[in-house]
Amino acid sequence: MRAVKMGLGLLLATSLSMGCLPKPKQDYTMEQLKAMESLEEIMRVQASTMDPQFAKIGKQLVEEDFALLSKAATRMQATAEAVVTKHSDKRPAGFKTLAEQFGKQAADLVAAADAKDNKASGELLGKMRETCRGCHKEFR
């Protein structure tokens, strides 16, 4: 019985940390991400892309991590662009501001990851996670 409870607890913790969103419907190209009409699907892409990266906050990054961070952050720039251009007009101004902030942080993370700067990469991951949390708290 205890093992079942522990397993359920682990499953619940995993579900909560992943944001309870289903996986994206497909692996989108950059052009598809920039043109995406579904805000829900954008959020799925963002969660599936960034949740594994957020788990690296506070850790010493290795060569492979920097490559993955750069790729993930580049994808987040595209999703942020779609949120700003396709999904901000009918929402409060703060929504667009947070999307623009997220896009800027993603661009900065690309630069930090490409420079293999562990400290800056970790700080930017933390800032991006807080931007996500702030947006969800205010607009979800």
Domain boundaries, the chain: 22-139
Least confident span in 15-29, 30-44, 62-76, 110-124: 15-29
Going by the DSSP 8-state scheme, the letter that residue 22 receives in this structure is P
Check residue 46 and give its pLDDT.
Answer: 97
The pTM score is 0.83
List the alpha helices (DSSP H) in the chain.
Answer: 2-17, 30-34, 39-54, 63-87, 93-114, 118-139
Matching residue, tokens 């990851």: 113
Mean pLDDT, range 18-23, rounded to an integer: 70
| pLDDT of the residue at 91 | 94
Collapsing DSSP states into helix, strand and coil, what is residue 35?
A: coil
pLDDT at 115 (0 to 100): 98
Task: Return the higher-pLDDT residue of 21 and 47.
Answer: 47
For position 140, what pLDDT does the model report? 86
Residues 6+ positions from 5 with CB-CB distance below 8 Å: none
For residues 94-121, give the mean pLDDT. Answer: 97
CATH topology of domain 22-139: Four Helix Bundle (Hemerythrin (Met), subunit A) (1.20.120)
